Chains A and B, each alone.
Chain A
């Protein structure tokens, strides 16, 4: 059967076997290639294994233990962050790192060492993983922590599922007083204002990120909306709408639906959605952290050909210059990004050997797949990222070359020692140059 990830590019043939019970371990055959897949919310091919075997962890969604006083939860690896939140928020505990969608599995969160709006205060998801149980293709099961099997622990966090199957994990949750966020949304004009606002906000707010207009030029260049917030204290809890109804996208949009003009209109609308430069409100955590989850299958607006995500990290020394050039290049190319997000990562070190986040600025854009032209444009952007000492997020990538990967992830050689010999992915074969 043909499968794809959230970006709907590429489409690959692979076999799928479901992991349903921790007591029923799959048998690993010789000469087969395996990869665990959770919710397949990566955008490119890091969760795909063309012509190989997928082990789907989706049914491993049970909670093994929870200690309400310490906030330590042990779960099977296929459980989603949404399912954990449904369980834990009413008990006063929150996921330590909320990414842009709650529909990701814990196994996927570890394997990609995901980040969120609180990177500057909490670092990556991997920093809150206390331990996990790893199944290797020789059928050994290893408990990995910072102290025991510590190298394998570090290789598995951000290890893209290549070190074996993460069966279960213990996560430290974060104490909260309510399900609400004290939030502010502030209009800014240009990158200088963004960096200034971000520098100030990161000291006082646990959560910060900004939407940025990567379509408009002139005096509207790089305008945007800065979002910042803290968990609300109990006494400020309001009746403000909690869970909103999720709208499905029932059809694939036709190719012409997203074009330069509709993007321009959307970006202008989004900037002026708030009439005043700064809005303060208390809102439920769902719309604050997961606005896109309110539209199920939003990837369908890009039509059947899918889209490419672009997420780079530029180190502090070159960030301002490089981000400006990347956005200019994007605008000049006429390939508009529907939604773009910019955030400053903090200095907290990720435990993963191959983690993407490190100190600097991250910019995320997405581009409808219009064939070779789109790919060429993204490759141009990649070159600019590499030249500025930056890197690309594997979870969002379908185009990185071997040369670029090996240069921007220098730990790849050390990682090979811990990679499971029977595990591989379409992404991995591409960046190791095994396809050619």
Chain B
């Protein structure tokens, strides 16, 4: 990946991932809502070796701007061979239960708007028969739990969408990487009590970089989350529904 569009570029995981690609002299098209934050990230990546970096300020959950957005990325970078989609919200589950409008917004941010971006990107990469697509999903999408199943449904839907996309684009030489982070110490999880299962955004960023080089399909990060989710997925539903998770 040398010409990379990053959606949610000011997220901790995205910025850390970009650091690794910057050292290889990549060029970036950085998309987020806040221009001042974008400038901080841009400056850091340029110092770390990025050949070039452009910023684009937009509310990415509004899908009507997506076509122009991708076109602008291709324009600025004179081409595009990679995308990183890293934005998302960990909404309030109780709010989602009370209000469909709230739940819909969560589903739009974490799933539908991502599908919109992926549709644009996939068709372009498919016709060029190359490209890398990196999307941050979540272990929360592996099984629905009462504590966050709306977020989980969005991420679960996203993971399945990516499976299908990978299956379709594999034959066209396009690599799709689904990243499933466990607990990561980022602004999204600021309120949570941290423990030994937690990872830093730096280590997650480095792991994503390596997974792109190795053309991995699904990356659980830290890797022990594969084991945890294997166990959680294996619990029979008759038992699972009785648990308070």
Contacts and interface: CB of A to CB of B under 8 A. Distances in A.
Which interface residue of B12, B40, B190, B193 has the most chain A CB atoms within 10 A? B40
A169 B36 CA distance: 19
A322 to B, nearest CB: 42
A63 B36 contact: no
A24 B47 CA distance: 22
Given A1-B193, A59-B12, A21 B36 contact: yes
A18 interface: yes
B156 to A, nearest CB: 29
B48 A63 contact: yes
A1 B37 CA distance: 29
A64 B36 contact: no
A265 interface: no
Contacts of B190: 18
A65 B12 contact: no
A66 interface: yes
B187 A62 contact: no
Contact of B187 (A18, A63, A64, A66): A18
A84 B33 CA distance: 29
B40 A22 contact: yes
A64 B44 contact: yes
A62 B202 CA distance: 12
B43 A64 contact: yes
B86 interface: no
B6 interface: no
A420 to B, nearest CB: 25
Contacts of B47: 63-66
Interface in A28-80: 59, 62-66
Contacts, number: 31
Contacts of B43: 62-65
A87 interface: yes
A140 interface: no
Counting chain B residues whose Cβ lies within 8 A of the other chain, the interface size class is 10 to 19
B53 to A, nearest CB: 13
Contact of A21 (B37, B48, B193): B37
A66 B49 CA distance: 11
Nearest to B190: A18
Contacts of A66: 47
A253 to B, nearest CB: 16
A87 B40 contact: no
B233 to A, nearest CB: 26
Interface string B35-51: 01100110110011000
A24 B10 CA distance: 13
B40 A62 contact: yes
A73 to B, nearest CB: 8
B148 to A, nearest CB: 22
Contacts of A83: 202
A23 interface: yes
A63 B44 contact: yes
A23 B44 contact: no
B37 to A, nearest CB: 5
A62 B201 CA distance: 13
B201 to A, nearest CB: 8
A20 B193 contact: no
Nearest to B36: A23
Contacts of B193: 1
Contacts of A64: 43-44, 47
Nearest to B43: A64
A22 to B, nearest CB: 6
Nearest to A64: B43
Contacts of A18: 187, 190
Contacts of A87: 48
Contacts of B44: 62-64
A18 B47 CA distance: 24
Interface string B106-122: 00000000000000000
Contacts of A21: 36-37, 40
A80 to B, nearest CB: 10
B198 to A, nearest CB: 13
A64 B45 CA distance: 9
Contacts of A24: 37
A20 B37 CA distance: 9
A22 B44 CA distance: 13
Nearest to A297: B196
Interface string B20-62: 0000000000000010110011011001100000000000000
A293 to B, nearest CB: 15
B187 A20 contact: yes
A59 B184 CA distance: 13
Nearest to B194: A1
A3 B138 CA distance: 29
A18 B192 CA distance: 13
Interface string B183-207: 0000100100100000000100000
A66 B22 CA distance: 15
A63 B46 CA distance: 9
Contacts of B40: 21-23, 62
Contacts of B48: 63, 87
Given A1-B193, A20-B187, A62 B41 contact: yes
A247 B44 CA distance: 30
Nearest to A250: B196
Nearest to A61: B202
Nearest to A73: B47
A13 B65 CA distance: 47
A18 B40 CA distance: 17
7 contacts: A18-B187, A18-B190, A23-B37, A63-B43, A63-B44, A63-B48, A66-B47
Interface of A: 1, 18, 20-24, 59, 62-66, 83, 87
Closest 3 CB pairs of A and B: A23-B36, A62-B44, A63-B47
Given A62-B41, A64-B44, A65-B43, 10 more contacts: A21-B37, A23-B34, A23-B36, A23-B37, A23-B40, A59-B187, A62-B44, A63-B43, A65-B47, A87-B48
Interface of B: 12, 34, 36-37, 40-41, 43-44, 47-48, 187, 190, 193, 202
